[in-house]
Structure formats: C-alpha cells, structure tokens
C-alpha cells in the first residue's frame, strides 16, 4: 500500500493548473503595464506635436504676412512767405518830360507756418494719421521706430529717422474657431532695435508645468528716404504769397532673415 501511495498522481493536475494561472497573471500584468505606459507616451508625443505644429505654423504665417511688405510714411511741413511790392506815386519826370515813378520797395516776410500750428501732417499709406487711424502690425511698428510713439506724434520730428528702439512688447495669436484650446494659442514678444531690426519670439500659450516650444524670427529692414519741395504763389494786389510744402517720404520694408528654434 505504501508503494501505491508513492506512485499515485492524484492532485498533480491541480498544482500545474495553479502554476499556469500564476504565470498567466504575471504576464498579463506586465503586458497591461507596458500598454498603459505606451499609451501615455503616445499621448505625450501627440501633445508635443500639437505644440510644435502650432508654433511652426504661427512662424510660417508671420513670415508670409510680414516679409517684404513696405510701409510708407509721408511727413509734410507747410509754411508761407510773402513778398510785398510798394510802388511810388511821385510825379518825377525824365529829361524828355516823361513821368517816371520811384523805384518800388520790396518787402520779404519771414516764412511762417500755416495756421493752425503746427502745420505738420503725417500720412501712412496716403491716409492722414492723427493718432486714431486703425493701423496694421507693420504700420504701428514703423511709426514707433520713426517717432518713438505711434499714438502722439511729435510735430518737431520732421527730421526723425528709423532709430527708436523698443523693449519687448507682448502679443497673442489665437486661431479662429478654437478659443477653448489653449495649446493652439501662441504668445510672443516683439522687440525693435535702434538699427530697425525686429525680433519676434513665439511660444505656446501654456502653464508653467508644460514645456513650451519656442521660435525666434529676425527681420532686417530695408529703408529708403526721399524729400520733395513744392511751391505755389498767389498774388492779391501788391502782395505775392508763396506757400511751400516740404515733404519727407520714408519707406521701410522688413525681410525675414533668420528663423531659430529654442529659447534664443
């Protein structure tokens, strides 16, 4: 009987089944963990791609909209000068008895600005600007670079050039139709250097716990300036009034010279 017990296989199938179940459980847990981790990485990659494409798309949009687009600013200064000629009324005669008048007296007045003062006008793309004109991004930056202030123009700035620098100023780009998706928003800054160079820094509109994607666009200026003077004379009686308009035409055109990636 002892020999029969030693050779008995009763209960062996249950032990093997339990062992196989334990192995399957461990393998399933490992597979599930790996799948969960992989899904998390895929989600992070998708989010990173979204941040990447939103910034690169914004950079491409700005390059297309700003590159090689001229802005022309015309400044006019208007003043008048008068010449008054007074003729004599004496009865002086010459040797033959013919009456001759005295030599006329000519008085030249100093040039004066046309009222109301200052007779100074600024035109942006042929539209007179007084501080309330709706401006495009490039027009606003060009006025600031020229005057140092795109709102209140200095009437004494007839001889100003494009040399007013500006510290970084923030702006936001948001795609139409997706205001609720903050990852698609782009924040940035625009900086003007004294030589007219413009720098645009872009990044995702995100909270601090995320890593934003950053790019910088550098735009270099091409500047041309010309002057012209026109005059018109009107005579009333013995007074000749000459109105002189001095105009200075300044044109600036930015070109995207470089696009850099990262916090440069």
pLDDT tens string 183-237:
567 888 999 999 999 999 998 876 555 677 889 999 999 999 999 989 898 888 8
Q: Whole-number mean pLDDT of the chain?
A: 74
Q: Give phi and psi for 22, each to the nearest 5.
A: -65, -40
Q: Is the pLDDT assigned to residue 143 strictly greater than 90? A: no
Residue-level pLDDT at 117: 43
Residue-level pLDDT at 255: 95
What pTM did the predictor assign? 0.66
Q: Is the pLDDT assigned to residue 98 strictly greater than 50? A: yes
Residue-level pLDDT at 252: 92
Residue-level pLDDT at 89: 59
Q: Is the pLDDT assigned to residue 129 strictly greater than 60? A: yes
Residue-level pLDDT at 179: 47
> DSSP assignment of 26-55, as one string?
HHHHHHHHHHHHHHHHHHHHHHHHHHHHHH
Top-ranked range on mean pLDDT: pick from 42-46, 112-116, 210-214: 210-214
């Amino acid at each position: 009987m002892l020999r029969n017990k030693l050779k008995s296989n009763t209960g062996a199938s249950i032990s093997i089944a339990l062992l196989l179940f334990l192995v399957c459980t461990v393998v399933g847990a490992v597979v599930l963990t790996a799948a969960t981790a992989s899904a998390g990485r895929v989600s992070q990659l998708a989010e990173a791609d979204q941040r990447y494409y939103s910034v690169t798309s914004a950079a491409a949009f700005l390059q297309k909209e700003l590159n090689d687009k001229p802005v022309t600013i015309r400044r006019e200064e208007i003043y008048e000068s008068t010449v008054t000629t007074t003729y004599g009324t004496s009865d002086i005669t010459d040797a033959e008895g013919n009456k001759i008048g005295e030599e006329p007296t000519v008085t030249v007045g100093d040039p004066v600005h046309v009222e109301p003062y200052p007779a100074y006008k600024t035109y942006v793309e042929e539209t007179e600007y007084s501080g309330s004109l709706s401006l495009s991004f490039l027009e606003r930056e060009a006025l600031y670079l020229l005057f140092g202030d795109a709102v209140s123009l200095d009437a004494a700035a007839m001889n100003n050039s494009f040399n007013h620098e500006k510290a970084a100023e923030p702006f936001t780009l948001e795609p139409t139709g997706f205001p609720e998706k903050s990852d698609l928003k782009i924040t940035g800054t625009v900086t003007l250097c004294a030589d007219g160079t413009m720098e645009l820094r872009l990044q995702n509109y995100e909270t601090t716990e995320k890593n934003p994607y950053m790019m910088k666009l550098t735009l270099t200026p091409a500047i041309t300036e010309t002057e012209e003077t026109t005059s018109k004379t009107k005579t009333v009686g013995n007074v000749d009034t000459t109105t002189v308009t001095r105009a200075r035409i300044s044109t600036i055109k930015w070109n995207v010279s470089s696009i850099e990636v990262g916090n440069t």
